[in-house]
Structure 1
Amino acid sequence: MSSLNRLLYFNCVVETGSISQASRIFDVQPSSISRQLAVLEQELGVRLLNKTTRNTGLTEAGRKYYEFSQRIVSEFDEAKRAVNDLQEKPKGNLKISMTVGFGESVVLPLIPKFMLLYPDIDIRLELTERVVDLVEENIDVAIRSGRLSDSAIIAKRLTFNNFLLCASPQYLANNGTPQCPKDLAEHQCIRYSYARWKDWFLMAETRTKLIINNAISVNSVNGQKQLVLNNTGLTLMPLWAIKNELADGSLVHVMQEYTFSPYEELSATYAIYLKRDMISPKTRVFLDFLVENIVNIDV
């Protein structure tokens, strides 16, 4: 029997003035309540109740203890109401970690819409390339690319990382358009310096690492985009980062018949969260929002 139940029994006996009445309220035997009150008094080392054949009254120590036990039970009830309210309505702090490129290009433009839908959720955003620990850093949702091996994590795929080789029309006019992958060795290339994106592969039956002789490296997707838009060279970028630029003609998709990747495998971007029996409403609505607004973004 928990200490809290003893407090509940004690308060009820005080308020009804009767162990038998309290036993009817809790639907337990009077002897059970008497035993738990005796344990409570033994734990405190003081008598709390004066019992007679007709009623049960408080000792001086009992009156003082009752003042505190009322507050304790009231706080406990308030805590239950607060937790239940959180489970029923999306609210509270939502901490989201995401890669810089995908965050700036895809997620951040969606945040105002999400805030209008769920004004009671306080959003905390972190843009970083490091792999965060969801438990240690109290992250509700992380957005990452690549394969996920942690069995304690659940992943929702948001979009495939369809990498395209592209350049500005001016660069191609000045330097010519490469016709096959080996021609890249003669061109200026812009590589993303993140460890797993720095090499370029031709994705065919056999994965072939491409020879890049002239390359400039930059550590952000938006930096890559600014360099290619300003006629610096050819670059390999995911479609989600350059979809608008391809549509308005400021960038050109080069060698469309080939499939390229900075990995030795094709990859996707995922929203991940910890495997739990119950997912909080704030996390659930954010995941649903991402899926609704991002899935098939490259189509």
Structure 2
Amino acid sequence: MSMLTRLHYFNCVVETGSISQASRVFDLQPSSISRQLAALEKELGITLLNRTTRNIGLTEAGQTYYQYSQRIVAELEQANRAVNDLQQNPKGNLKISMTVGFGESCVLPLIPAFIHKYPEVKIELELSERVIDLVEDNVDIAIRSGRLPDSNLIAGKLMDNNFILCASPEYLNTHGSPENTESLADYDCIRYGYSGWRDWFVIKGKARKLTIKEGLVVNSVNGQKQLLLNHAGLALIPTWAVKDELNNGTLLQVLADSIFSPYESLSSTYAIYLKRDLISPKVRVFLDFLKENITK
């Protein structure tokens, strides 16, 4: 029998004034209540109740103990209500970590609408390329590309990355458009600085690594885009990062018939969260909101 259950019995006996009344509240035999009260007193090493054939009264120690016991049980009930309320309604702090490029391009524009829909969810956003640990960093959701590093995580796919080669019209007017993937060795190539994304592959049957000119390296997707817009060369970049520029003509896709990737397979971006029996409402509604509103 747990200490908490004994506190419930003790409080009820004090408040009803009798073991028999308390036994009816809990639908137990009076002897069961008596045994638990005796066990409580034995554990504490002190008498809490003065028992007579007609009445039960508190000892001085019992009066002190009852004051604390009331608060403990009341606070636990309040805690249970608070947790149950959290489980029913999306509220509380939600920490989200995402890569800088994807966050700025695809997630941050959605945040005001999410806050308007769920005003009791308080969002903390971290934009970083570093590898994070959801438990150690106290992160609810991480948005990343690539494979799952841990079997204790769940990944929900948000979109394919669809890497393309592109450049500004001005750069292509000056240098001409490459005729094939082999000719990329003659062009200024802006590479992404992340170690897993520096190489360029063309996917045709199996992946083939391309020979490209050593040139600018920048450690963010948005940095690549700014260099593209300022006519620094060609870049292998996710479509989601440059869709507006492709639509308005400030960037042009190059070698559109080829399938490119910065590593030996195609990739997608995922929302990653801890594998748990129950997903909290705040996490669930944010995942649903992303899936509904991110343009694939």
Quickly name the TM-score band, shorter chain normalised.
over 0.9
Q: In structure 2, what is the equivalent of residue 119 of structure 1?
A: 119
CA RMSD of aligned residues (A): 0.9
Q: In structure 1, what is the equivalent of residue 194 of structure 2?
A: 194
Q: In structure 1, what is the equivalent of residue 101 of structure 2?
A: 101
Letter of the structure 1 residue corresponding to residue 82 of structure 2: A
Query: C-alpha distance in 2, partners of 1:137/1:219?
Result: 22
Q: Secondary structure at the match of 1:215?
A: coil
Q: In structure 2, what is the equivalent of residue 212 of structure 1?
A: 212
Q: In structure 1, what is the equivalent of residue 251 of structure 2?
A: 251
Query: C-alpha distance in 2, partners of 1:207/1:281?
Result: 41
Q: Secondary structure at the match of 1:5?
A: helix
1:20 corresponds to 2:52: no
Q: In structure 1, what is the equivalent of residue 275 of structure 2?
A: 275
Q: Secondary structure at the match of 2:215?
A: strand
TM-score (norm 2): 0.98
Query: C-alpha distance in 2, partners of 1:2/1:173?
Result: 79
How far does the alpha carbon of each residue in 1:243-298 deviate from its partner, in whole angstroms, 9 at most, with x for none? 0000000000111111111010000000011111101000000000011011xx24
Query: C-alpha distance in 2, partners of 1:221/1:5?
Result: 58
1:48 corresponds to 2:48: yes
Q: Tell me, which stretches of 5 or more residues in structure 1 are unaligned?
A: none
Q: In structure 1, what is the equivalent of residue 70 of structure 2?
A: 70
Identity of aligned residues (%): 67
Residue 12 of structure 1: how far off its partner (Å): 0.3
Runs of 4 or more consecutive aligned structure 1 residues displaced over 2 Å after TM superposition: none
Query: C-alpha distance in 2, partners of 1:133/1:70?
Result: 40
Q: In structure 2, what is the equivalent of residue 165 of structure 1?
A: 165
1:82 corresponds to 2:82: yes
Letter of the structure 2 residue corresponding to residue 138 of structure 1: N
Letter of the structure 1 residue corresponding to residue 61 of structure 2: A
Q: In structure 2, what is the equivalent of residue 284 of structure 1?
A: 284
Residue 230 of structure 1: how far off its partner (Å): 0.5
Query: C-alpha distance in 1, partners of 2:61/2:196?
Result: 69
Query: C-alpha distance in 2, partners of 1:272/1:213?
Result: 35
How far does the alpha carbon of each residue in 1:9-37 deviate from its partner, in whole angstroms, 9 at most, with x for none? 00000011110110110111111111110
Query: C-alpha distance in 1, partners of 2:206/2:284?
Result: 40
Matched positions, count: 296
> Given that residues 187 and 214 in structure 1 are in contact (C-alpha distance below 8 angstroms), is that contact kept between their aligned partners in structure 2?
no
Q: Secondary structure at the match of 1:207?
A: strand
Residue 214 of structure 1: how far off its partner (Å): 3.6
How far does the alpha carbon of each residue in 1:181-204 deviate from its partner, in whole angstroms, 9 at most, with x for none? 011000001010100110000111
> Given that residues 145 and 270 in structure 1 are in contact (C-alpha distance below 8 angstroms), is that contact kept between their aligned partners in structure 2?
yes
Residue 149 of structure 1: how far off its partner (Å): 4.2
Query: C-alpha distance in 2, partners of 1:290/1:163?
Result: 21
Q: Tell me, which stretches of 5 or more residues in structure 2 are unaligned?
A: none
